Amino acid sequence: MKLGFIGMGNMGQALCEGWIKADVLKPEDVFAYAPHQDKLKANAARIGFQPADSPAALVQAADWILMACKPYQVEAVLADIAPLLNGKVLLSVALGWDLAKYQTILGRDQAIQFIMPNTPARVGEGVFLFEEANTLAEDDLTAAKELFASLGQVYTLPSRLMGIGGAISGCGPAFVDLMMEAFADAAVRYGIPRDLAYPLVSQTFLGSAKLQRETGIHPAALKDAVCSPGGSTIRGVLALEEKGARAACQAAVDAVMQY
């Protein structure tokens, strides 16, 4: 497979770097185009992909095209490359560009899959939401899911749930980062050096998440197991409840969904 990135921002770099580091894709089989050529070439030297000087050159070099540019740029890019996409697989991580929207420009014969990723893909712990509606051949769909599964977990959602799914997995890392920063600040307040506070907190989040994912135990049951009668943990839990921790988390998602 020869894969071409249109756009090499944070998400494009996370995916590209992850696949090359994991030896899922060979550097000579990965191409990328971005309008800022100096920055593109610097990233190419660092990550190992092959820079292209135009979207057309990229499409001609690759079998699969990954649309990773800003959503507002997609339509202009398609105007340049649409005639060259025949026989190619188009994957897209551009927010809002689902199958139906692409088909208004490219028609119904183009192979298209909309995917919502998140930034933990950089370390192999990403979440990738595949829109259930797609026009990929069965073997291409299997290959696409295997490709993304090499950097995390793949889930399939109907089109109507891609928005809420993205609110949780796409925006969620920022919410979790905010909480980790807050707990690290508390650790520093009580004397733990900051260079120890961050790994202490991040490992606690990582371990707790992994415990739930691998055991399947309900989060409430895991929480109860840590809360001894009359102990310190239940006091902390009640303080979080009194400050509206649950409501704040739900309000964050509401704000995203109402945007």
DSSP secondary structure letters along the chain = --EEEE--SHHHHHHHHHHHHTTSS-GGGEEEE-S-HHHHHHHHHHH-PEE-SSHHHHHHH-SEEEE-S-GGGHHHHHHHHGGG-TT-EEEE--TT--HHHHHHHH-SSSEEEEEE--GGGGGT-EEEEEES-----HHHHHHHHHHHHTTEEEEEE-GGGHHHHHHHHTTHHHHHHHHHHHHHHHHHHTT--HHHHHHHHHHHHHHHHHHHHHH---HHHHHHHH--TT-HHHHHHHHHHHTTHHHHHHHHHHHHHT-
CA–CA distance, 135 with 110 (Å, rounded to integer): 7
pLDDT at 171 over 90: yes
CA–CA distance, 131 with 127 (Å, rounded to integer): 13
Phi-psi region of 154 (alpha: psi -120 to 50; beta: other; left: phi over 0): beta
Q: Write out pLDDT tens, residues 197-232.
A: 999 999 999 999 999 999 999 999 999 999 999 999
pLDDT at 3 over 90: yes
CA–CA distance, 207 with 209 (Å, rounded to integer): 5
Q: Write out pLDDT tens, residues 62-111.
A: 999 999 999 999 999 999 999 999 999 999 999 999 999 999 999 999 99
pLDDT at 140 over 90: yes
pLDDT at 150 over 90: yes
**How much is the pLDDT for 122?**
87
Q: Write out pLDDT tens, residues 237-246.
A: 999 999 999 9
Residue 140 contacts residue 89 (beta carbons within 8 Å): yes
Burial of 76 (0-12, 13-18, 19+ CB in 10 A): exposed
**How much is the pLDDT for 184?**
98
Domains of the chain: 3-157 (3.40.50.720), 172-257 (1.10.3730.10)
pTM equals 0.93
CA–CA distance, 130 with 51 (Å, rounded to integer): 27
Q: Which two tokens stand for residue 126?
A: 């990403």
pLDDT at 259 over 90: no
